[in-house]
Amino acid sequence: MDAVLNFHVYGRIPVRSDSLLFTRLKGKDAMIKPLASFLKILNSEASPGQISLALCFSMVAGFTPFFGLLTLCLLFLVLVLKVNLSAFFLGWGLFTALAFLLDPLFHGAGFWLLSHPGIEGFWTSLYNMPVLRLIRFNNTVFMGSFVISLLLFIPLFFMLQFLIKKYRSQFMGWIQKTRIAQIIKGTKIFMAYKSLG
């Protein structure tokens, strides 16, 4: 299994793994690490569908703000479904970082939805469902991020699948010959990844 670079423990705070490998990460290596991981995933044997679905799930997990029932459900799905776990955990970290920038947008969208008079009855009925109260659907950031990530889920899935296929057929060979790819390949990190792989 690929090494996990980032994972969520609580809310939006990414916590770095404490393995020997990552304790060596410093400065430039730390910046290159996600890129190297991403390239490794793209260049792996995993199918584009598995990678795309993992990234879509990670988008939902990364955008939504709480570690709760929804996160557990997503974990269940990514563990049970044959999606690329490395892509999921890498994506989770990236989308979490992105969510910090998008939170105002999520809040605005969530507030608009939750306070819309036409669907107040619907929200009220959901509000009285214990399970839904548990995921805090009535939180503006949660609602905004969840709805936006759901809306983006299918388009993102197909778009990522298309891009991965395109990358593998047309760009993978060229990229591997580029100077940056050589640098990445030359780093201790990449060597370590390779040895793990």
Q: By CB under 8 A, name the binding residues for another protein.
A: 11-12, 65, 72, 75-76, 78-82, 99-100, 103-104, 106-108, 110-111, 114-115, 120, 123-124, 127-128, 130-131, 133-134, 136, 138-142, 144
Nearer to another protein, 75 or 172 (CB): 75
SS3 178: coil
Q: Closest distance between another protein and the C-beta of residue 24, in Å?
A: 27
Q: How far apart are the C-alpha atoms of 90 and 41, rounded to whole Å?
A: 10
Q: How far apart are the C-alpha atoms of 189 and 46, rounded to whole Å?
A: 21
Q: Closest distance between another protein and the C-beta of residue 75, in Å?
A: 6
Identify the DSSP state of 171: I
Q: Closest distance between another protein and the C-beta of residue 53, in Å?
A: 9
Q: How far apart are the C-alpha atoms of 83 and 116, rounded to whole Å?
A: 37
SS3 14: strand
Q: How far apart are the C-alpha atoms of 43 and 53, rounded to whole Å?
A: 17
- Type of residue found at 141: V
Nearer to another protein, 19 or 125 (CB): 125
Nearer to another protein, 124 or 169 (CB): 124
Buried b (16+ CB within 10 A) or exposed e, 44-75: eebebbbbbbbbbbbbbbbbbbebeebbeebb
Q: Closest distance between another protein and the C-beta of residue 144, in Å?
A: 8
Q: Closest distance between another protein and the C-beta of residue 79, in Å?
A: 3
Cα dihedral: 164, 158, 144, 64 (round 10):
-50
Nearer to another protein, 36 or 110 (CB): 110
Nearer to another protein, 104 or 155 (CB): 104
Q: Closest distance between another protein and the C-beta of residue 58, in Å?
A: 15
Tokens linked to 191: 């060597």
Nearer to another protein, 133 or 166 (CB): 133
